[in-house]
């Protein structure tokens, strides 16, 4: 039988005692599970943050055993030594009994506090042995009113008094429709106050950050009226409120006499947080424009979450909590993949979005594995969701900053293709031209349009024509990583500014664009494009207008040569170019 002092150290035993203990454990293996003794030493603080190595567990599948039944059992008839992993049972329909022994080595009585650190357990009963025989029952849990607790605190605190030189064995019974996480610690009053002070500071910082994000997003939404900010506000509000329930603060301060509502709202708030997170994702990533198929998947997940929320008043908590946990895990993985696809499709806010959901996914996986009993209860596993969610919400606010930049640039963006518009092109070309001339670096310009577009539009209708323009815009986005700038010049005409790129590389890019459009397979009738390009290396251009005229003339040559081809401007002095002639029909 091991003896553990109040700081978790193994007490010294004589060599003979160790030998006897070893022989007994070999002869009677069941007795090796005997309860460890926790010694409260004289004149030393008591601070044992985890009792996992000093308790024993007994599963009661039917939930019918009484304290008298379990008190008569030895280690060989049911109780087994706990470990940090086994103490975190996870989802279980059984009741679970815990046994541990305390010894007071002082010559005066000693008061300590037993703390159960996971607050979302339905029923927590502590049986304290009395000197005259029998038991004193401390019955609490988050399915019972808050005033059933010995100490008004979000966690379960049990004050225990041990007479001088006494040794007492205690029993606890845990039962819950949610995860059963036996997370016991033992502290004296001084250590408890210090621990609570650190805890209050940590949670104050967490909820303070959540409140600041909430106020910031609300004020910005009022100012700009953009739906992405409202979706973010709703997500932070619902998830922040859920966290007050998850940490026990809501039960302590908001509805101490409504334990049933406290458990009901847990799933409801999780579902609403998931719905608003998906809404924020589709809005901030502009899924309708970039990834319409993934937008439909997101809508499907929202519907499933809404169905679970609607079933909360009709079905027991135990029936809904596991499906909701799995739905959250699937949705977070989906949103991470959603962000990666959007990033590849050219969405700028997706950068911070992917990092944010990666942090949240890591925290969610650790927390859910703890809830299912697959990893032990530690400070990191217990608070991984809070840490991951806080980092995620901060990073998502940075995606909103990117969204602010998008809003500023909306007047310079073509809404149909999501490329730059004529205004942006007219602003950037002179700047790039002057920088290239000043710094003596390459610069090329591509011009392209859709072949026979007027006839195509007349034959198939304007909606199909718009799809063709979107198709070309998507091809340009795929080939326009910074500092390249692609713009819709007007109608079916497009242009691409290529800083730092010479004539040979520009021709390669132009050919790839042409082949990409030609090889695209879609429900709409196929299209082709003609591309013309000009480079500073192939002409003496006095101004950016002359560079533009040269690229336009090259496009005209590609049209005259039969369309669906690439042509470069070369062979004539660019300054002598007349204004671009009217082109043959597109």
How far is residue 76's CA from residue 200's CA, in Å, rounded to a whole number?
42
Predicted local distance difference test score (pLDDT) of residue 20: 38
Assigned architecture for domain 412-576:
2-Layer Sandwich (3.30)
Q: What is the CATH number of domain 204-408?
A: 1.20.1070
Assigned architecture for domain 3-187:
Sandwich (2.60)
Instruction: Indicate if the alpha-carbon torsion angle 535, 537, 538, 542 is positive or negative.
Output: positive
Predicted local distance difference test score (pLDDT) of residue 187: 94
3-state SS, residue 90: strand
DSSP 81: E
How far is residue 97's CA from residue 67's CA, in Å, rounded to a whole number?
9
- For range 86-94, the mean pLDDT: 89
Burial class (CB in 10 A: 0-12, 13-18, 19+), 438: exposed
Is residue 539 within 8 Å of residue 569, measured between CB atoms?
Answer: yes
- For range 178-193, the mean pLDDT: 92
Stretch among 119-128, 204-213, 347-356 having the lowest mean pLDDT: 347-356
Predicted local distance difference test score (pLDDT) of residue 26: 37
Query: Listing from the earlier edge strand, what are the strands of the sheet with 184-187?
Result: 47-48, 184-187, 110-116, 156-162
Confidence (pTM): 0.65
Same fold, 3-187 and 412-576: no
Q: Is it the case that residue 218 has pLDDT exceeding 60?
A: yes
Confidence bin at 406 (pLDDT 50/70/90): low
Instruction: Please choose, from the candidates 286, 275, 395, the residue with its C-alpha nearest in 3D space to the C-alpha of residue 327.
Output: 275
Confidence bin at 523 (pLDDT 50/70/90): low
For the chain, the structural domain boundaries read 3-187, 204-408, 412-576
More confident residue, 401 or 517: 517
Structure tokens at 106: 């002082």
Instruction: Please choose, from the candidates 505, 576, 561, the residue with its C-alpha nearest in 3D space to the C-alpha of residue 530.
Output: 561
Q: What percent of the chain has pLDDT over 70?
A: 88
Structure tokens at 22: 């070893």
Confidence bin at 385 (pLDDT 50/70/90): confident
- For range 424-440, the mean pLDDT: 92
């Amino acid at each position: 039988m091991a003896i553990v002092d109040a700081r978790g150290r193994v007490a010294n035993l004589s060599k003979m005692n160790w030998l006897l203990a070893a022989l007994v454990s070999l002869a009677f293996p069941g007795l090796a599970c005997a309860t460890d003794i926790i010694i409260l030493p004289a004149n030393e603080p008591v601070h044992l943050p985890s009792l996992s190595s000093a308790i024993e567990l007994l599963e009661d599948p039917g939930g019918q055993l009484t304290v008298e039944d379990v008190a008569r059992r030895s280690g060989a008839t049911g109780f087994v030594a706990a470990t940090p992993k086994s103490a975190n049972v996870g989802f279980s329909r059984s009741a679970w009994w815990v046994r541990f022994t305390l010894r007071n080595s002082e010559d005066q009585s000693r008061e300590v506090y037993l703390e159960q650190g996971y607050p979302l357990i339905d029923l927590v009963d502590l049986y304290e042995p009395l000197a005259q025989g029998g038991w004193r029952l401390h019955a609490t849990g988050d399915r019972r009113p808050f005033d059933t607790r010995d100490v008004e605190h979000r966690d379960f605190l049990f004050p225990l008094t041990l007479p001088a030189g006494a040794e007492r064995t205690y029993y606890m019974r845990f039962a819950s429709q949610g995860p059963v996480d036996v997370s016991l610690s033992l502290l004296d009053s001084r250590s408890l106050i210090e621990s609570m002070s650190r805890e209050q500071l940590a949670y104050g910082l967490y909820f303070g950050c959540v409140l600041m994000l909430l106020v910031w997003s609300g004020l910005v939404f009022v100012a700009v009226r953009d739906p992405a900010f409202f979706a973010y506000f709703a997500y932070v509000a619902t998830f922040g409120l859920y966290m007050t329930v998850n940490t026990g603060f809501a039960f302590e301060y908001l509805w101490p006499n409504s334990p049933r509502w406290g458990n009901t709202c847990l799933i409801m708030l999780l579902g609403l947080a998931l719905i608003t997170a998906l809404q924020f994702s589709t809005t901030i990533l502009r899924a309708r424009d970039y990834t319409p198929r993934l937008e439909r998947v997101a809508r499907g997940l929202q519907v499933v979450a809404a169905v679970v929320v609607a079933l909360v008043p009709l079905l027991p908590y135990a029936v809904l909590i596991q499906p909701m946990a799995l739905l959250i895990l699937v949705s977070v993985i989906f949103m991470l993949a959603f962000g990666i696809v959007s990033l590849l499709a050219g969405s700028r806010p997706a950068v911070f979005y992917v990092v944010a959901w990666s942090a949240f996914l890591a925290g969610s996986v650790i927390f859910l594995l703890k809830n299912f009993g697959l990893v032990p209860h530690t400070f990191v596993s217990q608070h991984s969701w809070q840490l991951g969610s806080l980092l995620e919400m901060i990073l998502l606010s940075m995606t909103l900053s990117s969204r602010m930049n998008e809003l500023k640039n909306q007047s310079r963006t073509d809404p149909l293709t999501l490329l730059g518009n004529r205004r942006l092109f007219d602003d950037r070309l002179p700047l790039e031209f002057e920088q290239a001339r000043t710094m003596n670096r390459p610069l090329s310009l591509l011009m392209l349009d859709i072949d026979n577009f007027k006839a195509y539009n007349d034959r198939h209708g304007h909606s199909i024509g718009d799809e063709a323009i979107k198709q070309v815009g998507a091809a340009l986005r795929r080939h326009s990583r910074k500092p390249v700038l692609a713009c819709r010049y007007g109608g079916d005409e497009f242009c691409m500014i290529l800083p730092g790129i010479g004539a040979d590389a520009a021709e390669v890019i132009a050919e790839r664009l042409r082949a990409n459009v030609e090889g695209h397979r879609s429900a709409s009738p196929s299209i082709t494009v003609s591309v013309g390009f000009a480079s500073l290396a192939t002409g003496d251009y006095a101004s950016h207008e002359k560079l533009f005229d040269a690229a336009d003339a090259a496009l005209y040559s590609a049209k005259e040569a039969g369309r669906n081809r690439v042509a470069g401007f070369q062979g004539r002095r660019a300054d002598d170019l007349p204004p671009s002639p009217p082109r043959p029909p597109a």
